[in-house]
Amino acid sequence: MSLAIKVPPVGESITEVTLSSWKKKDGDHVEMDEVIAELESDKATFELTAEKAGVLQTVAKEGDTLAIGAVVANIEDGGTAASAAQPQPEVVANAPAPTPVAAAAPVAVPATGGGSLEIKVPTVGESITEVTLSRWIKKDGDAVAMDEAIAELESDKATFELTAEKAGVLKTIAKEGDVLPIGAIVCTIEGAGATAASIPVTPAVVSAADESPRGGASIANGGVTYASGTPSPAAAKILAEKGVDPKGVNGTGVDGRITKGDALGAQSVPAQPAIPAAKPAVAAPTQNSEPATQNSRNEKREKMTSLRKTVAKRLVAVKNETAMLTTFNEVDMQPIMELRSKYKDKFKEKHGVGLGFMSFFTKAVTEALKDWPAVNARIEGEEIIYSNYADVSIAVSAPKGLVVPVIRNADSMSLAEIEKAIVVLAGKARENKLTIPEMTGGTFTITNGGVFGSMMSTPILNSPQSAILGMHNIIERPVAVNGQVVIRPMMYLALSYDHRIIDGRESVSFLVRVKQLLEDPARLLLGV
């Protein structure tokens, strides 16, 4: 008996994965729960295990991009993969047609089922109660195949495809832009329609050896049908935001499908005018002709995505549900800059990582939190939760936007350990490989708007935390030192805090403590 091994659900926001490597080869005997392959999503890398003992028969290939639920491999009972398995469509596709009659004969499978089947919004996550029908991939009245993508749904965390649960004729009910609760009817599939297998297909279409240009779909591994040049849901969203036509993007996914990586690397290229076959006569402009772009006052209207709406709701909730205030101070950065300049080479030689400003700020914050624990606390219901540890969230700019990975137990780490942790987390953020646990559970946040040129700001709280420190750019300004006016590299600091739990005395004293530690870095080592 054969058991199909499919891509498991790996997260609410993950719709596809890449088969990065096979740990076992086709025909190998595997034990139950033994690792057989390594899958990679846009956020994490994880292992695929065998669900029973037997002989492995691989279906997908290394480098394939697979949708959640796609077949990766089969496990056969006993024997060898070659003897236990029947010939797969891929083998037939690559084999030459045995006779001219077989080459011309269509491959047909009897149509399945009859009657009407309701297609409802599936459950896509515990915290998701509604989705938006962003677009119909198939139109009303179209014949659809089983498991074929018919619509694209968008939640506040991810975009995913809705597939047909049987073959038939599509009857749409919901409209594009409708907000639908989980379980709502999106459409129905009437009668028995043609599936991908029941459509007459000649070996010219199935054969991988046929290099004639075709605009139709190709059959990928595991029976998943992808159209060449069609972007994945995540890639389509990125291309739309960039204003890039998918036709001009070279897809590197399965059967030429455009992956998220292709979309991130795509550049918007202005359309070039077509070269005419013959040089036309140049007509003199008339008095009524006006430049199309002169004094243009066009407006572009876009509907907010579910993600943007959710972010907006959370930010407004923080403003409405907390008594948020911001206190300011400034810090003389010259001592830290002199210290970095003196020891940065030796520091990198010994620890293998550069010495940046963020480690000093993180260390100063963790020391100040020991003196003012309310700044590190949070409110849950009618209780105040005090943490005797400091998990510091660091705001990092990533391709998808700003993310806040967490440095665990930062209070017990050295400057070198903090720098190494920042490098690892920042690298994962840039490669979109941060996991949900790596971005949740912080007790305090540091954000550095200075890298973008911000002189001063009032950062908003990262709920449920009660405080956030904002760093800004370093500007040389005249300041008074010991009765003398000198030029010093100065930075404004901003501490936003929840006044329900943190009083003014605590917030100001905390920020002054951070200032003292930064202006005299030796105190960080001595703990005074």
| CATH match of 323-526 with 3.30.70.600 | no
CA angle 462, 393, 435 (to 5 degrees): 100
| Max Cα-Cα span within the chain | 101
Q: Would you state the structure tokens that stand for residue 109, as one six-digit string?
A: 């499978």
pLDDT for the residue numbered 218: 38
CATH architecture of residue range(s) 2-86: Beta Barrel (2.40)
Asked about 503 being catalytic, the answer comes back as yes
pLDDT for the residue numbered 473: 94
Q: Name the nearest CA neighbour of 489 among 504, 502, 501, 475.
A: 475
Rounded distance between C-alpha atoms, residue 383 and residue 225, angstroms? 53
pLDDT for the residue numbered 519: 94
Task: Give per-10-residue mean pLDDT for the chain (528 aa).
Answer: 82 74 90 86 75 90 86 78 41 42 39 71 74 88 89 75 88 89 90 45 36 38 51 71 76 69 66 46 48 72 71 82 94 94 91 91 95 94 92 84 87 93 89 82 92 90 92 94 94 95 94 95 79
**Class assignment of domain 215-267?**
few secondary structures
CA angle 176, 401, 261 (to 5 degrees): 75
pLDDT for the residue numbered 326: 95
Q: What fold characterizes domain 108-199?
A: OB fold (Dihydrolipoamide Acetyltransferase, E2P) (2.40.50)
At which residue do the structure tokens 């000093």 appear? 360
Domain boundaries, the chain: 2-86, 108-199, 215-267, 323-526
Rounded distance between C-alpha atoms, residue 5 and residue 431, angstroms? 28
pLDDT for the residue numbered 363: 94
Catalytic residue among 210, 345, 499, 520: 499
pLDDT for the residue numbered 400: 66
Please tell me if the domain spanning 108-199 has the same topology as the one spanning 215-267.
Answer: no
449-463 burial, b if ≥16 CB within 10 A, otherwise e? bbeeebebbebbbbe
pTM over 0.85: no
Rounded distance between C-alpha atoms, residue 445 and residue 514, angstroms? 14
Catalytic residue among 77, 245, 345, 503: 503
pLDDT for the residue numbered 192: 52
189-218 burial, b if ≥16 CB within 10 A, otherwise e? beebbbbbbbbeeebebbbeeeeeeeeebb
Q: 522, exposed or middle or buried, with CB in 10 Å at 0-12, 13-18, 19+? A: exposed
Asked about 472 being catalytic, the answer comes back as no
Q: Would you state the structure tokens that stand for residue 516, as one six-digit string?
A: 């003292």
DSSP helix/strand/coil, 116: strand
